[in-house]
Structures are given as C-alpha cells and as structure tokens.
Amino acid sequence: MKALRLCLLSLIAILSNASVAAALTEIDPNSSLARQAIAVALPEFQHSASDFQDYEAIVVRDGPSLWVLFKDATAPQGQRGGGFEVELDADATRILSSHYGR
C-alpha cells in the first residue's frame, strides 16, 4: 500500500510539472510584442546587472503574464539559474516584478 501511495504521488508530481511546462509559450523574438517586452524590461535589468553584454533575452507567456528572461550566454549548456527575470503585464507595458532566477 505504501508503494502504491508513493507511486501515485510521483505520478501527480510528474503530471503537474508537465502542465506547468506546457503553460509556457515562447514568443517569436522578431515579433513586435517581444521587442516591446524587451524594451520595457531592459532598463530594469540594466539597473540590476553590472555587466549585461553577455546576456540574451527570451520572452515567454505564462498565463496572463509575459516574462523576459535574461540568460547568461556564456554559461555552460544546461546550467540552471544565473539569469534575471522580469514579469510584465500581458500587453508588455508595465513591470509587475523582477528578480534573479534560481
């Protein structure tokens, strides 16, 4: 019985992570929405980062928010964290939050 419970909890964790990943939609970097989101988020990132030349910006939609993720382009492939994240409203006109990623 304990093994079955553990198996069910594991399955729930896997399915919940899959649904979270499916909710993220990357925005075409050449679209006007992505360019606007980066333009709004960039001053916030520049204010927080001492050296921002080796970063690349990725824009994703997560539910009602847009996120601009500034990733260190020199970081090893697959490394987690080290980036800066700016959450914007859906129209990419207002910053809702910002922080360094984990």
Report, as an integer, the average pLDDT of 4-16.
36
Q: On the CB side of 73, how many CA atoms lie within 13 Å of its CA?
A: 8
User: Has residue 5 been placed in a domain?
Assistant: no
pLDDT tens digits along 11-67: 334 334 444 445 789 999 999 999 999 999 999 998 877 677 788 899 999 999 999
Residues 48, 27 contacting (CB under 8 angstroms): no
User: Has residue 15 been placed in a domain?
Assistant: no
What total of structural domains would you count in the chain?
A: 1
User: Has residue 53 been placed in a domain?
Assistant: yes
Which residues are bridge partners to 99 per DSSP?
85
Residue 39: phi, psi to the nearest 5? -65, -35
User: Has residue 3 been placed in a domain?
Assistant: no
- Domain limits at 91? 24-100
37, amino acid identity: A
Q: On the CB side of 14, how many CA atoms lie within 13 Å of its CA?
A: 6
Residues contacting residue 36 through CB under 8 Å, at least 6 positions apart: 92, 93
